[in-house]
Amino acid sequence: MLAEGLAPTADRTLSFMVPARNARGMVVRLDATLNAILAAHAYPEPLIRLLAEALTLTALVGATMRQDDGQVTVQASAKGGVVDLLACDWRAGELRGYIKYDDQIPVSEGMSLPELFGKGYLAITIDQVSSEERWQGIVPLEGHSLAGALEGWFSQSEQLPTLMRIGVAGSAATGWLAGGLLMQHLARSEIGGERLDAGEQHPDWEHVAALAATTSAEELTDAELSAEQLLWRLFHEEQVRVVPGPKPVKGCRCSAAHIKDVLMRFPEAERASMRDEGGLISVDCQFCSRVFGISA
């Protein structure tokens, strides 16, 4: 039996497995962390929802890694649309993200990815510390959601059948809440059986994917519904194992000490060209919207 959640809306991640169906998943809720990240910039509401979706997707993928095992970066670069750049990353529970956009172009709810980004691509990069390996996949910004683009990347590039559901709710007055569900089919060799050909439609995957696909945005952002309760709704006829994951926190890593350390790696001639009349080098952190004046 799944345990009752103590704080349904708190920032949290919960990994789960459905062993009999060779499937695993992750549930993410972003509350205070999401609002802290969004507060750094005065985004219009459609872009708030876009960034909230991107942050939730980044957390879903990042939380599947071991807490000390590297970084996940999701970045969209584009030209000819509202958004020029979207960047999010996750490292050991620390989450950050921002959007660079043209505030002279009107933006409205329901815009497709091509309308928001023009021509561009979405890149996901996974850096693992323990193996010193890096994976990167690039997909075109097509369709109506970033979740759909990432599903395609997992299925095509990683040959890992994947389903993602995202919900974003709230307003500038009340604050924002986002939730996400990730479901993936495991290769049978990972649990002691024969390897599943990723190109086959397997009945186990079809079953859990059909159940997970019924998850609504309203459920993912229901302040009274815990992650455990959501999984119970979906898989109450299955044996489900759950393990709490790392707690998401706002994790912009800018600091005067870190920036100075980076600047000191430049030759003195280059640092001299960067200094203003007061002898300071100004460094702008887009993630937290702060300007650091560094004496280096």
Can you give the residue ranges of every domain in the chain? 12-250, 256-294
Dump pLDDT digits (tens) for 233-267.
999 999 999 999 999 999 876 666 766 777 778 88
Dump pLDDT digits (tens) for 219-238.
999 989 999 999 999 999 99
Q: Could you tell me which of 218, 213, 210 has the C-alpha nearest to residue 165?
A: 213
SS3 152: helix
CA distances from 148 to 53, 96, 142, 182 (A): 11, 21, 9, 12
CA 66 to chain centre: 16
* Residue pair 242/190 in contact by the 8 Å Cβ criterion: no
The C-alpha atoms of residue 235 and residue 260 are separated, in whole angstroms, by: 51
Give this prediction's pTM. 0.85
Return the CATH superfamily for domain 12-250: Hsp33 domain (3.55.30.10)
Query: Strand locations in 45-161, DSSP E?
Result: 71-80, 83-91, 94-101, 118-128, 133-140
- pLDDT above 50 for 42: yes
* Residue pair 256/68 in contact by the 8 Å Cβ criterion: no
- Residue 138 is encoded by which pair of tokens? 């690039």
Give the highest mean pLDDT range of 54-58, 114-118, 136-140: 54-58
Q: For 61-81, b where at least 16 C-beta lie within 10 A, e where not — what string? A: bbbbbeeeebbbbbbbbbeeb
Dump pLDDT digits (tens) for 76-134.
988 889 999 999 999 989 999 999 999 999 999 989 899 999 988 999 888 877 667 78
Average pLDDT over all residues of the chain: 84
The C-alpha atoms of residue 28 and residue 34 are separated, in whole angstroms, by: 12
SS3 276: coil
pLDDT band at residue 191, thresholds of 50, 70 and 90?
A: very low
55-59, 140-144, 196-200 — which is least confidently predicted?
A: 196-200
- The DSSP letter of residue 214 is T
Query: Strand locations in 188-289, DSSP E?
Result: 241-244, 249-250, 281-285
CA diameter of the chain? 69
